[in-house]
Amino acid sequence: MATEVKVPVLGESITEATLGEWLKQPGDTVAADEPIASLETDKVALEVPAPQAGVMGEHMVAVGDTVEVGAVIATIEAGSGSGTSTSKAKAVEPTDPPAKTAATTAEAKAEQGEPASSITLSPAVRRLVLEHGVDPSKINGSGKDGRLTKDDVEQYVKVGGAKADVLAAKGTATAADTHPIPSATSVGSNRGEERVRMTRLRQTVARRLKEAQDTAALLTTFNDVDMTAVIETRSKYKDLFAKKHGVKLGFMGFFAKAACLALKDVPSVNAQIDGEEIVYHDYVDISVAVSAPNGLVVPVIRNAEAMSFADVENTIGDFGKRAKDGTLTMADMAGGTFTISNGGVFGSLMSTPIINPPQSAVLGLHRIEDRAVVVNGEVVVRPMMYLALSYDHRLIDGREAVTFLVRIKEAIEDPTRLLIDL
């Protein structure tokens, strides 16, 4: 007798999701609690576990369909399967636009019964594979259960794997192809297009950012900070810190603790507007932007004001790992009173970040670079970083925004302040 697979409870106020990926095809052997599908909600991707061991039955919905909590999306049959996909899988998967690349060759192999574990691709990874024309079976996956991530594909392309795969697929690889000279004809003949449906996460991000622009009176103020003291402190204590706490001492710990001090001095930056009222928080829940395979997510460091440096660094490290593995939960990203976004890790020199409603402010960090500055009447070279604070001017005055950034600057340039609460 078949057992129904239903959409699980997704979290508070979340009633529907999008089927992002089938991890098991009809006919595949399935173990109890083994992930069989991936759902995309407004904030995270969630895996649907098999309710019992058996054989993957019929897919009731296709990739890209919207499903509600409690809806039946598949069945699990009793018995043991072949471990490979059957022709039923073709009936529900959306038709892809023609692309004569190694990626389509690999997917064709999947339909012919080759092991799916080496070529199961998330929508984001699949787009990269098709774009660069790489053979996913030749890439070592670093994700959960050996799955490919965007970083895996990008690294493979970076070291030249894409070129080799394309040439191998065409059967024209020669020594002269190592450094080909593009011609107008070759460039003009490769002008394909692909329409890809926005993920639910990307749709939500787009909608919320536009709402922030339409609702809040956004303004950004800037300052710069001399990172000399923090860099010297990290260099002096990083080995002892790692040995004692089992985690690296990063920059985010300093900025998180500096933000806690500044938010205490300027409470409006940690507040939010609710109708005709202002809600002030006596705690600091910092949302930190981290990269995930499907986009940027913002898990929350709760009660950061009561945390040690080690607690902050451990929490951020755990968020980064789980974001890459796709195991962050709705609870991880609920709430937040203030956001820190570090565009410097991608090389950004300066930006105007957008607030994350209903929060009223976001601190943007940027890359550190040596610049000539004047110190005590002399021109010296110092490692400098630009800071940006975007804020809702309906709630936060310019004086308060500038004061907040000055407090951050003072704490970073003199980390002793973080210890004695100045």
> Which tens digits make up the pLDDT trace of 361-406?
999 999 999 999 999 999 999 999 999 999 999 999 999 999 999 9
Contact 66, 42 (CB under 8 A): no
The pLDDT, as a whole number, for residue 344 is 87
Please tell me whether residues 222 and 348 are part of one structural domain.
yes
Q: How far apart are CA 280 and CA 273, in angstroms?
A: 9
Chosen domain end from 197, 218, 237 = 197
The full length of the chain comes to 422
Give the orientation angle of helix 309-325 with respect to helix 251-265, to 10 degrees.
120
Nearest partner of 59 among 92, 97, 10, 102, judged by Cα: 92
The active-site residue out of 177, 265, 397, 414 is 397
The neighbouring-strand residues paired with 59 are: 74
| Per-residue pLDDT, 171 | 52
What is the spatial distance between Cα 352 and Cα 355, in angstroms, rounded to a whole number? 10
What does each C-alpha distance from 166 to 78, 101, 127, 373 come to in angstroms? 43, 7, 16, 50
Q: How far apart are CA 395 and CA 397, in angstroms?
A: 7
Determine phi and psi for 335, rounding to 5 degrees: 80, -145
Residues 238 and 386 in one domain: yes
Q: Which helix (H) or strand (E) holds 196?
A: none
- Sign of the alpha-carbon torsion through 229, 232, 238, 241: negative
CB 305 within 8 A of CB 284: yes
Looking at residue 100, its pLDDT comes to 40
Q: What is the pLDDT of residue 106?
A: 46
Q: Catalytic site residue 393?
A: yes
> Could you tell me if 12 and 158 lie in one domain?
no
* Domain stop point among 149, 165, 197: 197
Whole-angstrom distance, CA of residue 254 vs CA of residue 416: 11
Residue 149 sits in which domain range? 96-197
Question: How far apart are alpha carbons 314 and 343 in whole angstroms?
Answer: 20
Asked if 295 and 344 sit in the same domain, the reply is yes
Q: Are 223 and 405 in contact (CB under 8 A)?
A: yes
- 82 and 111 in a single domain? The answer is no
Q: Are 295 and 317 in the same domain?
A: yes
Same domain, 315 and 283: yes
* CATH code of residue 84: 2.40.50.100
- 360 CB burial (10 A radius; 0-12, 13-18, 19+): buried
- Residue 327 structure tokens: 């195991």
The Cα 153–Cα 293 span in angstroms is 11
Distance in angstroms (rounded) separating the CA atoms of residues 280 and 282: 7
Find the catalytic residue in 311, 393, 414, 421.
393
Q: What share of the chain is helix, strand, coil (3-state, %, to 5)?
A: 40, 25, 40
- Give residue 111's pLDDT: 42
Q: Which two tokens stand for residue 334?
A: 């609920």
C-alpha pair distances (Å), 311 with each of 12, 185, 213: 27, 58, 34
**Same domain membership, residue 243 and residue 161:** no
Domain count along the chain:
3
Low pLDDT (below 70) residues in the chain: 11-13, 42-43, 80-124, 127, 144-145, 161-189, 293-295, 420-422
- Same domain for 320 and 249, yes or no, is yes
pLDDT of residue 408: 96
pLDDT at 345: 85
We report the CATH number of the domain holding residue 237 as 3.30.559.10
pLDDT of residue 367: 94
* pTM of the predicted structure, to 2 decimals: 0.62
* Whether residue 130 sits in one domain with residue 260: no
Cα gap 16→105, rounded to integer Å = 34
73 Rama sector, left if φ>0, alpha if ψ -120 to 50, beta otherwise: alpha
- 311 annotated active-site: no
Residue where one domain finishes, among candidates 197, 230, 253: 197
Residues 6+ apart with CB under 8 A from 143: 149, 152, 293, 324, 325, 326
On whether both 58 and 115 belong to a single domain, the answer is: no
252 CB contacts (<8 Å, ≥6 apart)? 288, 312, 313, 316, 340, 342
| Judgement on whether residues 80 and 111 belong to the same structural domain of the protein | no
| Contact between 381 and 371 (Cβ < 8 Å) | yes
Confidence at residue 209, expressed as pLDDT on a 0 to 100 scale: 82
Cα gap 186→57, rounded to integer Å: 46
Sign of the CA dihedral 169, 170, 172, 178? negative
Q: Checking phi first, is residue 21 left (phi over 0); if not, alpha (psi -120 to 50) or beta?
A: beta
Distance CA 369, CA 349 (A): 9
- At 122, list the tokens: 């998330």
Distance between start and end Cα atoms, the chain: 68
